[in-house]
Chains A and B, each alone.
Chain A
Amino acid sequence: NAGVTQTPKFQVLKTGQSMTLQCAQDMNHEYMSWYRQDPGMGLRLIHYSVGAGITDQGEVPNGYNVSRSTTEDFPLRLLSAAPSQTSVYFCASSTGTENTGELFFGEGSRLTVL
């Protein structure tokens, strides 16, 4: 089973560049989310979606955009990268249309912004 797949695993950007982190799941999960992981700060929620066409902001949404055109895919876009966005990003999904707290995580995407 593929589960939650993230690409790329590593990326280096220059300040001001844009990019998209891809996330796909093959479990037919309605709920999907993006987190960033920073040392000493745990994971913080960026954006989430409870189904195709529905997205909402988490606690640190600034500088990021998302869309959900299909159940399977939930890309995260950085419109103008900043050094403060250097982090490890995780996509996670859950069964149903609500987050029960039982999340399935991808392996992460490590982003460095110079």
Chain B
Amino acid sequence: GNSVTQMEGPVTLSEEAFLTMNCTYTATGYPSLFWYVQYPGEGLQLLLKATKADDKGSNKGFEATYRKETTSFHLEKGSVQVSDSAVYFCALIRTSYGKLTFGQGTILTVHP
């Protein structure tokens, strides 16, 4: 079946540090890949997506590239801010009708 594996967390960084957050997946065919972000006390929000190999999704300074050869979709940001502190979820969808598979989430804490 489909699965998503995220790096062990939590991740703690100082403001303006570089962020890499790992995500690898297992799926047949060509899934679409997503990063969702959950700020404290809120629901999840779509951060970025990529629908085919070598696509790069980007939003709010975050980027992730769909790497089919390594089955990865790592999230990066060049300079994190305190306001980026949240839980980040990597996810994939292989078919329609609700089959969105999430990773376990990675907590990011950014200190001033």
A26 at the interface (CB under 8 A from B): no
- Cβ of B49 and Cβ of A102 under 8 Å apart? yes
Closest Cβ of chain B: how far from A60's Cβ, in Å?
13
Residues of A within 8 A of B46 (CB): 102-103
Residues of A within 8 A of B104 (CB): 40-42
Residues of B within 8 A of A90 (CB): 43-44
What's the interface size class on B, roughly? 20 to 34
Q: Say what secondary structure dominates the interface of chain B.
A: strand
Interface string of B1-39 (1 = CB under 8 A from A): 000100000000000000000000000000010100000
Closest Cβ of chain B: how far from A32's Cβ, in Å?
9
- Cβ of A103 and Cβ of B89 under 8 Å apart? no
Alpha-carbon distance A58/B89, docked complex (angstroms): 19
A101 at the interface (CB under 8 A from B): yes
A73 at the interface (CB under 8 A from B): no
- Cβ of A103 and Cβ of B49 under 8 Å apart? no
Per the CB 8 Å criterion, the residue count for chain A at the interface is 25
Interface string of A31-74 (1 = CB under 8 A from B): 10100000011111100101000001010000000000000000
- Cβ of B97 and Cβ of A100 under 8 Å apart? no
Q: CB within 8 A of A56: which of B43, B92, B97?
A: B97
Alpha-carbon distance A41/B44, docked complex (angstroms): 15
Of chain A, the residue at the smallest CB distance from B44 is A105
Determine which residue in B42, B43, B46, B99 has the highest number of CB atoms from chain A within 10 A of its CB, and name it. B43
Closest Cβ of chain B: how far from A99's Cβ, in Å?
5
Nearest 9 CB-CB pairings of A with B: A105-B43, A98-B96, A48-B98, A42-B102, A101-B93, A43-B102, A42-B104, A105-B44, A99-B98
Which residues of B approach A to under 8 Å, CB–CB?
4, 32, 34, 41-46, 49, 89, 91-93, 96-100, 102-105
